[in-house]
């Protein structure tokens, strides 16, 4: 099932994408988070709505919002989780990590799947892209065993972990500032529920800038698979329904290209993941106060 948040006459409604149309579910669910929190029961109710001859509405991509439009917590992210990306950063001169690198992006980073992304030119001269698979947590859990971690997943989205490279390492090594610009995390275009994905650790993932492929990999190349990431993070904190975890980006980021290829105003960035879909965002010059 593909679950969306979309604009409907200035209201934010929850819906299901079915045969390229939208089945609105706002009569039963005020928002997507309430679907996630309803667990198996929520999916059963969605299936009943799907089978009840509800009049479908047109799917208008410009009306799609981040699937969870308002976050309760920061987005959790794993750094350096694809071997070739780790090597492009460290040139194979240190040992592979034994624990994932985890940081967060502020809640204000979320953006819609086709929304313009402001480029704060007075803050960064090195805005970069990172195509990533995002995991949406569906159940509350602490100290989750790796073998049971998939029970805690609700579904998956495409994500772009847009990063200010010149800021990322200039605040005492803390990445938060360079990773938390407003709207620096477009998500979507929907949450694909996990039952639709046969093997989440074997999906092609790629990123395009202005139509040219700049990253191309497969989720099988993650150093820490998704279940391990969930196990590790939940050692520290209770995961709750609606939490979002970004699982790292493959090699090919702009700052490491020769010559470097950082994002500028009017560039168009796409993230594609097999069986999930794609997001496409234009970079917009922005020096708003």
Which positions touch Mg ion (CB under 5 A)? Answer: 130, 161, 249
Check whether the bond before 264 is cis (ω within 30° of 0).
no
Note the maximum CA span of the chain: 60
Question: Closer CB to Mg ion, residue 113 or residue 250?
Answer: 250
Question: Closer CB to Mg ion, residue 24 or residue 130?
Answer: 130
State the residue number with the nearest CB to Mg ion: 161
- Shortest Å distance, C-beta 228 to Mg ion: 17
- Shortest Å distance, C-beta 150 to Mg ion: 22
- Shortest Å distance, C-beta 223 to Mg ion: 13
CA distance 156 to 135: 5
The residues, ordered by sequence, that sit 6+ positions from 225 with a Cβ below 8 Å of its Cβ are 201
Our CA angle for 152, 217, 156, nearest 5°, is 25
Question: Closer CB to Mg ion, residue 50 or residue 102?
Answer: 102
30: helix, coil or strand? coil
216 touches 191 (CB < 8 A): no
CA distance 237 to 59: 38
- Shortest Å distance, C-beta 246 to Mg ion: 6
Question: Closer CB to Mg ion, residue 80 or residue 114?
Answer: 80
């Amino acid at each position: 099932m593909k679950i969306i948040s979309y604009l409907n006459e200035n209201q934010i409604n929850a819906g299901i994408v079915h045969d390229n149309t939208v089945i609105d579910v706002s009569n039963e669910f005020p928002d997507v988070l309430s679907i996630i929190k309803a667990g198996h029961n929520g999916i059963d109710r969605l299936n009943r709505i799907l089978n009840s001859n509800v009049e479908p509405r047109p799917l208008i991509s410009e009306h799609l919002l981040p699937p969870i439009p308002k976050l309760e917590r920061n987005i959790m992210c794993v750094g350096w989780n694809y071997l070739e990306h780790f090597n492009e950063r460290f040139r194979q001169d240190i040992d592979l990590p034994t624990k994932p690198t985890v940081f967060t992006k502020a809640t204000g980073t979320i953006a819609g799947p086709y929304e313009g992304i402001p480029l704060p030119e007075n803050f960064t001269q090195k805005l970069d892209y990172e195509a990533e698979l995002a995991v949406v947590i569906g159940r509350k859990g602490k100290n989750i065993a790796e073998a049971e971690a998939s029970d805690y997943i609700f579904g998956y989205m495409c994500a772009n972990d847009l990063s200010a490279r010149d800021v990322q390492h200039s605040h005492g090594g803390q990445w938060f500032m360079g990773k938390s610009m407003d709207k620096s995390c477009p998500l979507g275009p929907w949450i694909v529920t996990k039952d639709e994905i046969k093997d989440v650790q074997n999906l092609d993932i790629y990123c395009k800038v202005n139509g040219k492929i700049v990253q191309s990999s497969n989720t099988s190349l993650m150093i820490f698979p998704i279940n391990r990431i969930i196990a590790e993070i939940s050692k520290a904190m209770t995961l709750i329904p609606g939490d979002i975890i970004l699982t790292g980006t493959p090699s090919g980021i702009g700052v490491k290209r020769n010559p470097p290829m950082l994002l500028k105003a009017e560039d168009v960035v796409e993230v594609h993941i097999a069986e999930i879909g794609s997001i496409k965002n234009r970079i917009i010059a922005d020096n708003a106060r």
